[in-house]
């Protein structure tokens, strides 16, 4: 066999092996319900395997590079694939951050003999590849192969938008992307921003403020707002829950909506989402201790706001929407309970960023919240029955109801107020639209409500009266920044009273 064909066989063998060991594990928990969905998964794996062949060709082109890089590639891939199967964990910026700040005790807790065996096995296989490559003294027309491999990789990675999105979440691209995003987020957190000036309009000896950022929950699927299905039984049984059914979101995807919600940005001044600090920094200036507890990843557009918090926790740091495995907002509760016990400050802010109603819906619904059936069985939303999609979505609202009610239980005897605002809504097949980000009408009306404790009602009776009066009025999500500060007895300079839920006003115009 000539050196050229020996090299090609090596590259193909390595590509197939890496695909089976490092790519296929990403799909082992992918929900399928028939030959079409199984075929879709197979085609995805095969398409992603092309990239592994291109990468193998580049790594093996020079035998000294192969001797150095192939074992490292195999060991890292072995570690990542093991944790993908054993812990349903994948690489993202939050996991990079957790890894860099992990102590040896934590490392030993997630290390096992199975991991060691798997990694050693991959290392031995990589040494066989190195030995094979070493026996090929010279690859004919190496420059042609180099250019061809780069071209194949470029076509594979950037040639198709859907494949690019998937490839960016697979080994090794998700490692490169996540490390790059982590570095970028660290830099972004240090960029200069202005802190809005605030002044006290009322005082209180103690106050807990809880801000829950929802995900893809639409207002008209809350039974609090008249939806015929009982999706919010626990909140409906609670006193002092004020639902806001007419909130309008200018943005229909998380990257744009969350910075808008947290900052003083509004429809006339959208640039403030990039140049101003959030209400977290404003409250810290007033003596509040703050915590950000997230069930999502760091977001590039709102990471600077996360870094404003005193405490940052990601209980599910290894999860992404490409992992089809249970991933509940209830997982945030232990971290929240611990903070409540540990913190002695009298004025506290908790921001809880939930996964809520993000697709794949079933992933985010504990068994106790499955009230509507049948549910979806396929990861491709359009390959499910439309009623099953709605059932699964409504179950996520039931899950949200349980989570928020559980949070309220932790604060019901304190002087506390809770805001819930989803980042946007969700399309459920209306006019052929699904999910969000496309700007459909259904995605522009997110779920929103406020809960306050009895102690808060006694401390701020006028604010509670104004909130009840404004409950049916129309607001943009611009209201959140100013209303949250107002709930704390603070007012930001330049505050437009039309944004404030806690000031009595005439009916606002429709957005």
In the block, which residue shows the tokens 């790519």?
23
pLDDT of residue 138: 83
Do 449 and 473 lie in a common domain?
yes
d(CA 319, CA 91): 8
pLDDT of residue 449: 98
Do 216 and 85 lie in a common domain?
no
Grouping H, G, I as helix, E, B as strand and the rest as coil, residue 348 is strand
Q: E-assigned strands of 206-356?
A: 207-214, 241-243, 247-248, 289-294, 311-313, 347-353
Do 158 and 212 lie in a common domain?
no
Q: Name the pTM for this structure.
A: 0.82
b/e map of 98-125 (b: 16 or more CB within 10 Å)?
A: eeeeeeeeeeeeeeeeeeeebbeebeeb
Do 360 and 450 lie in a common domain?
yes
Grouping H, G, I as helix, E, B as strand and the rest as coil, residue 141 is coil
In a domain, 483, yes or no: yes
d(CA 397, CA 44): 31
| Distance, CA of 333 to chain centre | 17
In a domain, 223, yes or no: yes
Do 19 and 87 lie in a common domain?
yes
For residue 447, what is the domain's CATH number?
3.40.720.10
Do 180 and 217 lie in a common domain?
no
d(CA 350, CA 412): 15
What residues contact residue 295 under an 8 Å CB cut-off, 6+ apart? Answer: 314, 315, 316, 319, 327, 329, 331, 332, 352, 353, 354, 355
Q: What is the per-residue pLDDT across 133-143, written as a single tens digit (0 to 9) for each?
A: 998 888 888 89
pLDDT of residue 246: 96
On whether the CB atoms of residues 492 and 479 are closer than 8 A, the answer is: no
Do 210 and 176 lie in a common domain?
no
Provide the number of structural domains found in the chain: 2
Do 235 and 121 lie in a common domain?
no
Number of Cα atoms under 13 Å in the Cβ half of residue 293:
22
In a domain, 345, yes or no: yes
In a domain, 445, yes or no: yes
d(CA 359, CA 356): 9
pLDDT of residue 109: 56
Report the chain's mean pLDDT, rounded to a whole number.
90
Closest CA to 394 of 436, 356, 442: 356
Do 178 and 224 lie in a common domain?
no
Q: What is the per-residue pLDDT across 445-502, written as a single tens digit (0 to 9) for each?
A: 999 999 999 999 999 999 999 999 999 999 999 999 999 999 999 988 766 678 899 9
Phi, psi at residue 91, to the nearest 5°? Answer: -85, 135
Interhelix angle 3-18/35-60, rounded to 10 degrees, is 130
Task: Note down the domain range covering 62.
Answer: 3-188
pLDDT of residue 510: 43
Instruction: Please give the span between the terminal C-alpha atoms of the chain, in angstroms, as a whole number.
Output: 72
In a domain, 511, yes or no: no
pLDDT of residue 181: 82
In a domain, 509, yes or no: no
In eight-state DSSP terms, residue 170 is S
User: Across the 511 residues of the chain, what is the mean pLDDT of every consecutive 10-residue run?
Assistant: 79 96 89 82 92 95 93 95 84 78 56 90 96 88 92 92 87 91 76 85 92 97 97 96 96 91 90 92 94 91 92 88 86 96 90 96 96 92 91 98 98 97 94 82 95 97 95 93 94 78 65 44
Phi, psi at residue 312, to the nearest 5°? Answer: -125, 125
In a domain, 195, yes or no: no
Do 399 and 434 lie in a common domain?
yes
Do 110 and 13 lie in a common domain?
yes
Domain boundary among 155, 188, 221: 188
Phi, psi at residue 355, to the nearest 5°? Answer: -90, -25
Do 347 and 211 lie in a common domain?
yes
The string of DSSP letters for 278-301 reads -HHHHHHHTT-EEEEEESS---TT
Closest CA to 400 of 235, 162, 175, 190: 235
252: left (phi over 0), alpha (psi -120 to 50) or beta: alpha
3-state SS string over 364-401?
HCCHHHCCCCCCCCCCCHHHCCHHHHHHHHHHHHHHHH
Domain boundary among 162, 188, 214: 188
Kindly list the distances between the CA atom of residue 480 and the CA atoms of 262, 266, 340, 487, 500, in Å, as whole numbers in the listed order: 7, 10, 24, 10, 8
d(CA 28, CA 39): 14
In a domain, 197, yes or no: no
């Amino acid at each position: 066999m000539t050196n050229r064909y020996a090299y090609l066989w090596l590259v193909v063998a390595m590509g197939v092996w890496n695909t089976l060991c490092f790519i296929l594990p990403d799909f082992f928990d992918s929900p399928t319900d028939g030959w079409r969905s199984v075929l879709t998964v197979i085609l995805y794996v095969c398409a992603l395997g092309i990239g592994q062949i291109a990468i193998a060709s580049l790594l093996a082109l020079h035998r000294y590079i192969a001797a150095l890089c192939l074992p490292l590639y195999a060991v890292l891939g072995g570690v990542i694939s093991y944790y993908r199967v054993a812990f349903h964990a994948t690489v993202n910026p939050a996991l990079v951050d957790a890894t860099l700040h992990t102590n040896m005790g934590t490392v030993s807790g997630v290390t096992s003999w199975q991991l060691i065996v798997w990694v050693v096995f991959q290392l031995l296989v990589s040494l066989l590849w190195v030995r094979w490559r070493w026996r090929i003294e010279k690859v004919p027309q190496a420059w042609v192969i180099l250019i061809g491999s780069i071209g194949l990789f470029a076509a594979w990675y950037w040639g198709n938008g859907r494949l690019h999105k998937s490839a960016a979440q697979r080994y090794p691209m998700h490692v490169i992307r996540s490390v790059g995003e982590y570095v970028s987020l660290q830099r972004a957190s240090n960029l200069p921003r202005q802190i809005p000036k605030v002044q006290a309009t009322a005082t209180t000896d103690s106050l807990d403020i809880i801000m829950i950022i929802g995900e893809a929950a639409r207002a008209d699927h809350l039974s609090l707002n008249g939806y015929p299905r009982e999706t919010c039984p626990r909140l409906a049984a609670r006193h002092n829950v004020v639902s806001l059914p007419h909130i309008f979101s200018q943005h229909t995807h998380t990257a744009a909506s969350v910075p808008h919600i947290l900052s003083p940005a509004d429809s006339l001044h959208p640039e403030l989402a990039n140049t101003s600090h959030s209400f977290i920094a404003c409250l810290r200036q007033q003596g509040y201790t703050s915590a950000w507890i997230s069930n999502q990843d760091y977001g590039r557009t709102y990471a600077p706001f996360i870094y404003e918090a005193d405490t940052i926790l990601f209980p599910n740091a290894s999860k992404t929407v490409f992992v089809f495995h249970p991933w509940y907002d209830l997982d945030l509760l232990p971290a929240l309970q611990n903070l409540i016990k540990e913190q002695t400050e009298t004025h506290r802010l908790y921001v809880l960023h939930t996964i809520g109603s993000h697709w794949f819906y079933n992933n985010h619904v504990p068994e106790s919240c499955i009230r509507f059936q049948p549910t979806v069985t396929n990861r491709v939303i359009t390959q499910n029955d439309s009623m099953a999609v709605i059932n699964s979505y409504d179950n996520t609202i039931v899950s949200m109801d349980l989570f928020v009610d559980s949070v309220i239980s932790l604060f019901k005897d304190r002087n506390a107020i809770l805001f819930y605002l989803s980042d946007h809504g969700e399309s459920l097949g209306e006019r052929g639209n699904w999910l969000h980000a496309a700007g459909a009408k259904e995605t522009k009306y997110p779920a929103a409500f406020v809960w306050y404790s009895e102690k808060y009602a006694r401390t701020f009776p006028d604010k509670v009266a104004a909130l009840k009066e404004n409950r049916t009025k129309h607001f943009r999500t611009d209201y959140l920044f100013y209303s949250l500060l107002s709930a704390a007895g603070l007012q930001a300079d330049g505050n437009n009273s039309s944004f404030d839920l806690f000031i009595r006003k005439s009916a606002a115009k429709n957005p």
